[in-house]
Amino acid sequence: LAIAGSIQPSREFEASPPNKLGRSGLAAWKEAVTALAELGTLHFADRAAITAYCVAHDRRDNYDDVLAKDGEFYVGPNGAICK
């Protein structure tokens, strides 16, 4: 689909994921890049946003692991960790 006066997506995208991604982030990367490529909307300017999305997936998994191990907690008014 081309809209008059619009910039067409570039096919030049560095498809290899950043080294800092873990298991969950890599899975999210593959899913996002594949879906956008199939739609023909993958653009090199998307790389930072896709990376941030995938890092968030990794962090969520890490937080889930911490919660499963240690339970819920919060930082109290004096900086102490409270359960």
Q: Locate tokens 């409270």: which residue? A: 82
Question: 8-38 burial, b for 16+ CB within 10 Å, e for fewer?
Answer: ebeeebeeebeeebeebbebbbeebbeebee
Residue 75's identity, in one-letter code, is: V
Query: CA–CA separation, 74 vs 10, rounded Å?
Result: 45
Task: Give residue 7's pLDDT.
Answer: 53
Task: Give residue 38's pLDDT.
Answer: 87
Task: Give residue 23's pLDDT.
Answer: 93
- pTM value surpassing 0.75: no
Q: Per-residue pLDDT averaged across 50-76, rounded? A: 91
Side-chain-facing half-sphere of 53: CA atoms under 13 Å: 14
Q: Which residue has the higher pLDDT, 1 or 83?
A: 83
